[in-house]
Chains A and B, each alone.
Chain A
Amino acid sequence: MSKIQNGLRYSEEHEWLDTESAPAKVGVSAVAADALGDVVYLDLPEVGSEVTAGSTCGEIESTKSVSDLYSPVSGTIVEVNQEAIDNPALVNEDPYGAGWLFTVEVTSEGPLLSAEEYASKNGGEL
């Protein structure tokens, strides 16, 4: 069963948001990574660009499908994870760690779920 990390908050679209770090960090949940299959290509927003909570800001392509990436928050992109772009398998191997996607200077948050709420909705394991 897919692991859901405590201490993070989650969007309906399976992104996680870590506001403990500054700037805030965004990635996709293990539930999403497992559902996608092996990730082979990441199209991430550009550094300095504005993202809007609940709007698409990139794509995640796996062997089997391509999915939109939604930003869980509004704000300005500070950094994108170049290591994950170069080695997209990191998203599968370590979705809450080395497989993070971008950091963002948050101006406002979209609707977010606690780890417990997200787990009860998606059947993951805390």
Chain B
Amino acid sequence: MTAEPQAAPHTATEKRTALYHQHAALGASFTDFGGWQMPLKYGSELAEHRAVRETAGLFDLSHMGEVWATGPNAGAFLDYALVGKLSAVAVGKAKYSLICAEDGGIIDDLIVYRVAEDDFLVVPNAGNAAIVAAELDSRLAAFGREGVALRDASVETSLIAVQGPNAQDIVLQLFPAEHAEAVTGLKYYAAVELEAQLEAGSVPVLLARTGYTGEDGFELFVANGRAAELWTAVREAGESRGLVPCGLAARDSLRLEAGMPLYGNELSRDVTPFEAGLGAVVALKSKEGDFVGRAALQAKKDDGAGTTSGRRLVGLRGLGRRAARSHYAVLKDGQQVGEVTSGQPSPTLGYPVALAYVDVELAEPGTQLDVDLRGKAEPFEVVALPFYKRER
């Protein structure tokens, strides 16, 4: 066989999170992701995946970026810099958004938390964090710096995620009883600043009910200096609740089952939000003012991009046992009609799943297509996303 070890050798340019030594002590195999040395898996990635679906998983996501936009004009500025209407987000809520180029291509997908009336936290992907921070700064120069300050807190902020059916029970252990209701009452895509009560004292945490796994779960933003304490406290709280540390391999298979796009696979500068099925994120109607990419996005929408013309991101279900992988050709009657962006055997569903761009006329669920699996056409069917939806 020709398998190359997945864990790339360490190079001096790769950054380590504040939790690196915790991962190493757990026997993690590491991989380079977005310029960071991150745990790929600790043991079996399938066992980690299943833990998130059945009990709970713990992730270090400290490679993600954190850029604060603060001030009385911060909301209006984000309305200009991003495609969504962030000024309409209520305090304590979050919104999934995109930062697009002038030509409408996607620079990154991100989550924006409105922590206070004038405080917004923008969370870009690890590999794009510096690009997004620089892009926001140049957009602020064009918008006007009055009443808005930007601060890139990526290097000083850690992010820990607890995901799975037992996540709430575990997270509840971190906070004093009087905050229990703030935790249990926290809605999906909402966030609250709380003090975690740890052995060494209290630790300020931004607790968000967000995730990238298709399960209920939380993400906890914490200063680097307190990250290891928080990680240990979460592990202790999770010991009797089936909590398993999870690497990026499980994170990728979980998000794929949940039909969530990954920047670099499904999303790129060459993709518009409409093709990616993210048209609803673009506030062409509700935003009156200009925003970066508006003209191009309006024109693409008018052209029917992703709806009546061009290509569209779809879910594919493999009818055989073999999985489609990124960059494999999608075929119809032997002719290429698209390309796979992500794919693997679904651990939860037991059959291969994939995301792919295909010609829009072939994007309807039920459409029978083939994928060129290393020279052999194997049958796949277009299915509605997500592949996996948790029972509520």
- Whether A associates with B in a native complex is yes
Question: Could you tell me which A residues sit within 8 Å of B by CB distance?
Answer: 13-15, 28, 31-32, 34-38, 40-41, 43, 60-70, 89, 92
Contact B1 A70 (CB under 8 A): yes
B contact residues around A41 at 8 Å (CB): 321-323, 345
Contact B41 A37 (CB under 8 A): yes
Bound-state Cα–Cα, A34 to B249, Å: 13
Bound-state Cα–Cα, A70 to B46, Å: 26
Contact A13 B2 (CB under 8 A): yes
- What are 5 A-B pairs with beta-carbon distances under 8 A? A37-B6, A63-B46, A64-B45, A64-B344, A65-B325
Which residue on A lies nearest to B321, using beta carbons?
A41
Which residue on A lies nearest to B44, using beta carbons?
A38
B contact residues around A63 at 8 Å (CB): 45-46, 249, 253, 344-345, 347
Which residue on A lies nearest to B325, using beta carbons?
A66
Whether B3 sits at the interface, judged by CB under 8 Å, is yes
Distance in Å from the Cβ of B319 to the closest Cβ of chain A?
Answer: 14
In the complex, how many residue pairs between chain A and chain B have their CB atoms under 8 Å apart? 66
Whether B5 sits at the interface, judged by CB under 8 Å, is yes
Question: Could you tell me which B residues sit within 8 Å of A by CB distance?
Answer: 1-6, 29, 41, 44-46, 249, 253, 321-323, 325, 344-345, 347, 374
A contact residues around B4 at 8 Å (CB): 35
B contact residues around A43 at 8 Å (CB): 322
B contact residues around A67 at 8 Å (CB): 1-3
Contact A40 B345 (CB under 8 A): yes
A contact residues around B321 at 8 Å (CB): 41
Partner of A61, one of B46, B253, B322, B347: B322
Bound-state Cα–Cα, A25 to B39, Å: 35
Distance in Å from the Cβ of B348 to the closest Cβ of chain A?
Answer: 12
Contact B322 A35 (CB under 8 A): no
Partner of B5, one of A15, A35, A68, A92: A35
B contact residues around A14 at 8 Å (CB): 1, 3
Partner of A37, one of B2, B249, B325: B249
Distance in Å from the Cβ of A81 to the closest Cβ of chain B?
Answer: 15
Bound-state Cα–Cα, A95 to B92, Å: 51
Given A14-B3, A63-B46, A64-B344: 10 more A-B contacts, CB < 8 Å: A14-B1, A40-B46, A41-B321, A61-B345, A63-B249, A63-B253, A65-B3, A65-B325, A67-B1, A92-B44
A contact residues around B344 at 8 Å (CB): 63-64
Contact B6 A15 (CB under 8 A): no
* Known contacts A37-B249, A64-B6, A66-B374; A28/B1 CB under 8 A: yes
